[in-house]
């Protein structure tokens, strides 16, 4: 599926809630921005439309059919790709996205039980066949992630209120999603239990190496 039609690089951050994605994506962006054209975005919520969907999806207090939930994430993804990600890649930028298609495969597919093959097909359609060039997978135990979320001063989302079995399925879902990638699409697994600074340094070093190899740094 990978077309290589665009010159930019798509880097996604994946992992369970509280694994450290947002802080790491931010650290990578801060490192890259003085060195090359880069943008930091997220799913859901990378566009104006997406912000409305994010509030709806994460803060809702009503029951939502898992398929309906997935299709809202897919709508966010479709708009995000078309409006922001693909244009930036076409301009040669490095696009860093805090979550993307693998999260749907893991959360709505393995977590909530929506048919994974449907999610995979719709994800590819939403992304216009573009795969991430690199996915940074921040790996962490449920217990450690839970501890961190407990200290974070934010309202818990519907997902963060889920139990351990849910996150075990989500972790399996991430691995299953990665197994579907074409060989050119790289998965960088990082141990999220390390000190925050160590996690960030490791990610920056890995991405720096990758971009240097591709002649972009």
Binding site for ligand ATP (CB under 6 A): 15, 17-23, 148, 152, 160, 192, 194-196, 199
Q: Which does 54 bind (CB under 5 to 8 A by kind): Mg ion, ligand ATP, none?
A: none
Q: How far is the CB of 54 from Mg ion (least distance, A)?
A: 11
Q: Which does 152 bind (CB under 5 to 8 A by kind): ligand ATP, Mg ion, none?
A: ligand ATP
Q: Which does 131 bind (CB under 5 to 8 A by kind): ligand ATP, Mg ion, none?
A: none
Q: Which residue is nearest to Mg ion (CB)?
A: 22
Q: How far is the CB of 148 from Mg ion (least distance, A)?
A: 11
Q: Which does 20 bind (CB under 5 to 8 A by kind): Mg ion, ligand ATP, none?
A: ligand ATP
Closest-CA residue to 109 (of 35, 187, 166): 166
| Neighbouring C-alpha atoms within 13 Å toward the C-beta of 72 | 20
Nearer to Mg ion, 166 or 180 (CB): 166
Q: Kindly give the interhelix angle for 66-80 and 48-59, rounded to the nearest 10 degrees.
A: 160
Nearer to ligand ATP, 67 or 148 (CB): 148
Please answer whether residues 104 and 123 qualify as being in contact, where contact means their C-beta atoms are separated by less than 8 angstroms: yes
Nearer to ligand ATP, 21 or 93 (CB): 21
- Contacts with Mg ion, residue ranges (CB under 5 A): 22
Nearer to Mg ion, 36 or 188 (CB): 188
Nearer to ligand ATP, 199 or 211 (CB): 199
Nearer to Mg ion, 16 or 122 (CB): 16
Burial readout 109-134 (b: 16 or more C-beta within 10 A, e: otherwise): bbbbebebeebbebbeebbeebbbbb
In angstroms, the CA 105 to CA 112 distance is 10
Q: How far is the CB of 162 from Mg ion (least distance, A)?
A: 15
In angstroms, the CA 91 to CA 127 distance is 17
In angstroms, the CA 190 to CA 37 distance is 24
Q: How far is the CB of 130 from ligand ATP (least distance, A)?
A: 23
* 3-state SS, residue 170: helix
Q: How far is the CB of 22 from ligand ATP (least distance, A)?
A: 3
- State the first-to-last Cα distance of the chain, in angstroms, to the nearest integer: 26
């Amino acid at each position: 599926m990978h077309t290589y039609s665009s010159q930019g690089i798509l880097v996604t951050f994946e992992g369970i809630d509280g694994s450290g994605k947002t802080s790491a994506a931010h650290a990578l962006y801060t490192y890259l921005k003085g060195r090359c054209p880069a943008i930091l975005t997220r799913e859901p919520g990378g566009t104006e439309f997406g912000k409305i969907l994010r509030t709806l999806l994460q803060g809702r207090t009503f029951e939502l059919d898992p398929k309906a939930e997935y299709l809202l994430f897919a709508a966010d993804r479709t708009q995000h790709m078309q409006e922001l990600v693909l244009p930036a890649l076409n301009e040669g930028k490095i696009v860093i996205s805090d979550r993307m298609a693998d999260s749907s495969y893991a959360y709505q597919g393995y977590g909530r039980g929506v048919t994974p093959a449907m999610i995979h097909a719709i994800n590819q359609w939403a992304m216009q066949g573009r795969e991430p060039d690199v996915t940074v997978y921040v790996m962490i135990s449920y217990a450690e992630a839970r501890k961190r979320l407990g200290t974070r001063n934010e309202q818990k989302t519907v997902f963060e209120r889920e139990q351990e079995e849910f996150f075990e399925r989500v972790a399996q879902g991430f691995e299953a999603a990665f197994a579907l990638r074409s060989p050119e699409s790289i998965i960088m697994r990082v141990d999220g239990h390390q000190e925050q600074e160590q996690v960030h340094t490791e990610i920056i070093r890995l991405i720096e190496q990758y971009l240097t190899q591709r002649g972009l740094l």
